[in-house]
Amino acid sequence: MTSPNASDRRGPLVYVGAYTPDMEGHGSGITVCRQDPETGSLGTPSAVIPAISPSYVARHPSGRFLYAVSERGGEGAVGAYSVQDERLVPLGEVSTLGAGPCHLAADPTGRFVVVANYGGGSVTVHPIADDGTLGEAATHVRLTGSGPVKDRQASSHAHQVTFAAGGEWLVVCDLGSDTVYHLSFDAEAGTIAEGPKVTLPPGTGPRHIAYGPNDLAWLVGELNTTVTPLRSDPRTGALTVAGKPFALSGGEGMPSGLVAAADGRFVYVANRGPDTVSVLAVDGAELALVEEVPVGAWPRDLALVGDVLYVANQRGNTVTGFRCDSGSGRLTALGVALSTGSPTSILA
């Protein structure tokens, strides 16, 4: 599937995060490539920016800067990069004050980057300077809680941070305590205050949320292998459970990333273990399985870029591509879009 001239076709830039040898991975850093809209190939990488386990990447609202966590075993870090066409220029990094930072997001005003520390069970807020560089943490919030799965839920594990209601609320998935926090976020000061929270059934293990239209959101439970429908208040963004969880892959495996189609008709979920993507049709707040498609070894993340679904296969050292049918949601395999070491996240 890879075309030597793919980078000549001016599709969107795609950034691929990875695990490097310090986390028993085979990656080298952040891979920069450009999509060929016709074939779905990501072509020959434009650049590979050296970094220590940049397992998740996020962009600044202006598009001028990119940010990546450095998911180290000890105290982690978050790095800043200036986007220079198809290159990334490192701008330095700062400590996240916690172990294993695994997710991050820039607030919609572009003033702060928020990081989820999985190992540390905490969230940090870092100010962004005019030149894109990051300051030391302005806010550091430790989560508390536990769950019944002893080897995974002995304490809190922040697994995702994302913004709702235009940035007024910060949503945090805590895999360790079966809780999704809905925290008030002050975009002037970078501070966080308590807000409503959603408590899931014990052993759910909330990992990631994907938002769709019509005030619906979808929560993947890594530990009980489910997708739970949530509804957000159109005024405040506060979340409530909207229906019964949908069981994935017969209860086997460890679901990871998920994404909702732009029109909200389908949800795509990556399943590690079975090494598949589940295509789910949306009917109100209910989900139904359309098909389950083999994708590669240990799919950790996925992203929709136009009508192409990309899957980062961490243990397969590939990003595979699939054309999405807008009517049925079904996937047509395009093959290996990119060969790269231990890919963990995809950003277009």
Q: Read out DSSP for 124-166?
A: EEEEB-TTS-BPSPSEEEE-----S-TTT-SS--EEEEEEEGG
Q: Quick check: 66 and 57 in contact, CB under 8 A?
A: yes
The torsion region of residue 234 among left (phi > 0), alpha (psi -120 to 50) and beta comes to: alpha
User: Tokens 């085979």, residue?
Assistant: 26
* pLDDT recorded at residue 2: 43
Can you tell me the distance from the alpha carbon of 137 to that of 144, in angstroms, rounded to the nearest whole number?
19
Q: Report the pLDDT value the prediction gives residue 345, as an integer from 0 to 100.
A: 98
Q: What is the pLDDT along the chain (348 residues), one digit of tens a residue?
A: 544 444 445 789 999 999 999 999 999 999 999 999 899 999 899 999 999 999 999 999 999 999 999 998 789 999 999 999 999 999 999 999 999 999 999 999 999 999 999 999 999 999 999 999 999 999 999 999 999 999 999 999 999 999 998 899 999 999 999 999 999 999 999 999 999 999 999 999 999 999 998 899 999 999 999 999 999 988 888 899 999 999 997 778 999 999 999 999 999 999 999 999 999 999 999 999 999 999 999 999 999 999 999 999 999 999 999 999 999 999 999 999 999 999 999 999
Does the domain made of 87-199 have the CATH classification 2.130.10.10? yes
Global pTM?
0.95
- Looking at residue 236, the DSSP 8-state letter turns out to be T
pLDDT score at 9 = 54
- Report helix, strand or coil for 23: helix
Please, are residues 173 and 160 in contact by the beta-carbon 8 Å criterion? yes
**Distance, CA of 222 to chain centre:** 13
Element at 211 (helix H, strand E): strand 206-211
DSSP designation for 245: P
Q: Find all residues with CB under 8 Å of 321, minimum gap 6, and list them.
A: 1, 40, 41, 42, 308, 309, 310, 311, 333, 334, 335, 336, 337
**So where are the chain's domains?**
87-199
